[in-house]
Chain A
Amino acid sequence: MLGQVRVENLTKVYHTRQRKGLFKSTEKAVEALKGVSLEIRPGEVFGLLGPNGAGKTTLIKCLTTLLLPTSGAAWVNGFHLIHDANAIRASVGCMLMGDRGLYWKLTGRENLIFFGALYHLSPTERRRRANEIIDRLNLGEIADRAVETYSSGQKMKLAFAKALINDAPLLILDEPTNTLDLPSARELRAVVRELNRLGKSVIYTTHIMAEAEEMCDRVAIIDRGEVLALGTPDDLKASLDREEVIRFEGVISSRAGQAVQALPGVVRAARSAVNGHTQLAVVVHDQRALLPRLIETLTAHNALVQKIVPEEVTLEDVFIARTGRTLAEDTRVK
């Protein structure tokens, strides 16, 4: 089925040589994927989350036929990874390796038209698609300049544009906002969401938690070649069953504090004075569910709330809970 990916027990073992002195070297096997199984549904944005060296890029390279898996099976857009490799290549739009996959001496438009030809689009269709993408991504001003004159962010945008040239039902984006400034990253995410609304499935790898939470319908947390957790960001966070704190600042009476404490779902509420204001720290299990009730109760008891600071469980907390490490760590096998 178009837009669907099914991975069954995929493993990938690399063999590298370790140098020992001038002439000696020994071979070392590196298990980059250890029996990964997952399913990506048509029309969803699926996040692959993990630190550097977790196996995200290896998994993506297997799914895009750049690498042959050591064992296991996978189907991309309904095509078998080994038997229908060309059909997979034709039906996937990829942005891997950031801006490295571009011809720097050529202009952005020439790059897009060239890759259109490699996807066997007719000459008219290549030009039409290139113009359409250039307009959509606001690349008009730079499209006819050599790529070597682009900023890193502009190169990343062009690499993203290249992924759209074949109008594939499945987009695979590997860290697409790397090196982009904040407005450009926001713009790119908006385009991805728009494409997703138009029915494209997206595999989105990132190590930025907020981005994964914002973009993805479901997330797989990968570490050291294994899928440690898979689900919606909310489900993953809820699975931690950790207490959360919401801090209210303003003029809050003790009666209002007691009313909040009495609400079902509130573990405890503590009032204190901070910089001439009252602060009410409310400990809850599910702040998203409870926040409207808390505001309602405080308002009903004449509290003047000037600031609300929620301290939510993040996907990073989920990762730390599962691995005991942070996402900033590089887990590549040395």
Chain B
Amino acid sequence: MTAIANPTFRQTLSAMLAETRLRLLNITRYPGQLMMEIIIPIVFAAMPMLLGRATAGADAEANFRANTGTANYVAFLLIGSNAFTIVSNAFWHIAYWLRFEQETGTLEAVYLTPTSRITLVAGVSLYSALRALTTSILAYILGCLVFQVNPLQGDILLAFLFILVGLLPLYGVALLFGALVLKVKESNALVGLMQWGVGFLMGIFFPVVALPPLVRAVALAFPPTWMVNGVRSALLGVGFFFEKWYLDWAVLWAFLLFIPLFSVQVFHRVENGVRRNAGMGEF
């Protein structure tokens, strides 16, 4: 017998990277999908950008600065649309992944192995992060070049710190919805609702302060809202929610420490409930 029931950290890491590699191999067989992920955020941002220019005319930049703290509405909208891609990918890659694998039968196949589900989720999350970051950065740079603004302005390192710390709780939220998808056996409606809901609340095309107070409070309960505002503040100087970057960053750390652990607990409970009844194979 060659398989191992209690793997070491290195073996667990190897299994996680195998899951990431599997996803990367898979996506290389759909090159059109990656191209689309680079083009869509630019088109997505271009629509309000051009509408803004058409309605505000020569005053567009001044009006935008008065309401958001930056005149660079091109970069502001591109950051929003690319962050939306990251959020959207997180929900599709984690929550929809469970449903898709359930339908194709591969979920049961991986459940037959001794690799823990959380290792697999971590592998899928790493894949999602690599894919989303690569396409988002390319789309951001390309978008900036198309609309003739400098993509390398502001504190790029700080922006990355906000993205990196914001991704983990985002995948935690996505796993929570993955558990819900397993429970109700419905993915498209739930994932669609979540990606647009969270996308709206984090302020794809507008500053969150523009939201009504109650809605703004709900928006601040989602990690992507803090992540996007952190990136915009670092690159464009729109202003952190708590004025200091490290306070906003600390909030993301609090999300990071709480949400993934909570999501894993919920996921295990739902998973055991499913195993107690008809199992992962029933879809």
Q: Are the CB atoms of B109 and A117 closer together than 8 Å?
A: no
Residues of A within 8 A of B14 (CB): 117, 120, 122-123
**A244: interface (CB < 8 Å):** no
Please provide the chain B residues from 1 to 43 with a CB less than 8 Å away from any CB of chain A in the complex: 1-7, 11-12, 14-15, 17-19, 21-22, 25-26, 29-30
Output the nearest chain A residue to B272 by Cβ-Cβ distance. Answer: A68
For window 102-116 of A, CB contacts with B under 8 Å fall at 102-106, 110, 113-115
Point out which of B19, B113, B280 has the most chain A C-beta atoms below 10 A from its C-beta.
B113
Question: Nearest chain-B residue to A32 (Cβ)?
Answer: B278
Q: Does B277 contact A (CB under 8 A)?
A: yes
Interface residues on B, range: 35 or more
Query: Are B1 and A101 within 8 A (Cβ)?
Result: no
Q: Give the interface segment out of B77-85, B100-108, B234-242.
A: B100-108
B110 CB within 8 Å of chain A: yes
Q: Does B196 contact A (CB under 8 A)?
A: no
Q: Report the bound CA distance from A121 to B111 in whole Å.
A: 16
Contact B26 A86 (CB under 8 A): no
CB of A97 closer than 8 Å to a CB of B: yes
B169: min CB distance to chain A, Å? 27
Q: Which residues of B contact A105 (CB under 8 A)?
A: 25-26, 29-30
Which of the residues A68, A84, A94, A125 comes within 8 Å of B275, measured between beta carbons? A68
Contact for A125 among B2, B111, B115, B278, CB less than 8 A: B2
B115 in complex: contacting residue of A2, A106, A118, CB < 8 Å: A118
Bound CA span A100–B281, Å: 10
Residues of A contacting B278 with CB < 8 Å?
Answer: 14, 16, 67
Q: Is the CB of A91 within 8 A of B5?
A: yes
Choose, from A34-42, A165-173, A232-240, A250-258, the stretch at the interface.
A165-173
B275 x A67 contact (CB < 8 A): yes
Instruction: Known A66-B108, A103-B26; judge A61-B1 contact (CB<8 A).
Output: no
A168 to B5 Cα, complex, angstroms: 12
Are B2 and A87 in contact (CB-based, < 8 A)?
no
Interface residues on A, range: 35 or more
B244 in the interface, Cβ–Cβ < 8 Å?
A: no
Note all chain B residues with C-beta closer than 8 A to A157.
none
Against B, the Cβ 8 Å flags (1 = close, 0 = not) of A81-104 are 000101101111010110011111
Bound: A10/B279 CA distance, A = 16
Residue of B nearest to A128 (CB): B2
Min CB distance, B93 to chain A, in Å?
Answer: 15
CB-CB under 8 A from A94, the residues of chain B are 112
A106 to chain B, nearest CB (A): 6
Flag whether A162 is at the interface (Cβ < 8 A).
yes
In the bound complex, how far is the Cα of B280 from the Cα of A123, in angstroms? 28
On whether the beta carbons of B4 and A90 are closer than 8 Å, the reply is yes
Q: Which residue of A lies closest to B276 (CB)?
A: A68
Among B2, B6, B26, chain A packs the most CB atoms within 10 A around the CB of B2
CB-nearest residue of chain A to B18: A117
Q: Note all chain A residues with C-beta closer than 8 A to B275.
A: 65-68
User: Given contacts A68-B272, A90-B4, A167-B2, is CB(A120)–CB(B114) below 8 Å?
Assistant: yes
Residues of B within 8 A of A167 (CB): 1-3
By a CB distance below 8 angstroms, the chain A residues around B12 are: 120
Please indicate the chain A residues that have their CB under 8 angstroms from the CB of B30 in the complex.
Answer: 105
A200 (CB) vs chain B CBs: closest residue: B1
Q: Which of B94-145 contact A (CB under 8 A)?
A: 104-106, 108-116
The reply to whether A66 and B114 form a contact with Cβ atoms under 8 Å apart is no
Q: How far is the CB of A181 from chain B (nearest CB, A)?
A: 22
Indicate if the CB atoms of B3 and A168 lie closer than 8 Å: yes
Known: A14-B278, A103-B22, A106-B22. A115 touches B109 (CB 8 A): yes
Give the shortest distance, in Å, between A16 (CB) and chain B (any CB): 7
Interface string of B253-277 (1 = CB under 8 A from A): 0000000000000000000100111
List residues of chain A with CB within 8 A of the CB of B22. Answer: 103, 106, 110, 114
**Cβ B2 vs Cβ A102 within 8 A:** no
**Chain B window 55-77, contacts with chain A (Cβ cutoff 8 Å), 1 for yes, 0 for no:** 00000000000000000000000
- A279 part of interface (Cβ distance < 8 Å): no
**Distance in Å from the Cβ of A322 to the closest Cβ of chain B?**
28
Within 8 A of B (CB), among A121-178: 121-123, 125, 129, 146, 162, 166-169
Q: Which of B2, B15, B25, B111 contacts A129 (CB 8 A)?
A: B2
CB pair A86–B6 under 8 Å, yes or no, is: yes
Q: Do B18 and A114 touch across chains, with their CB atoms under 8 A apart?
A: yes
Judge whether B109 and A120 touch: CB under 8 Å: no
Taking CB atoms, residues of chain B closer than 8 Å to A19 are none
Contact B18 A100 (CB under 8 A): no
What B residues does A122 contact at CB under 8 A? Answer: 14
Q: Which of B2, B110, B281 contacts A61 (CB 8 A)?
A: B281
B106 to chain A, nearest CB (A): 6
With A68-B276, A91-B5 as known contacts, state yes or no: A96 contacts B108, CB within 8 Å. Answer: yes
Residues on A with C-beta less than 8 A from B108 are 66, 96-97, 100-101
Tell me, in angstroms, the Cα distance from A168 to B1 when the chains sit together: 5
* Interface presence of A20 (CB below 8 A): no
State which of A61, A103, A119, A162 has its C-beta within 8 Å of the C-beta of B4: A119
Least Cβ–Cβ distance between A148 and chain B, in angstroms: 9
Closest 4 CB pairs of A and B: A100-B105, A101-B109, A117-B18, A166-B3
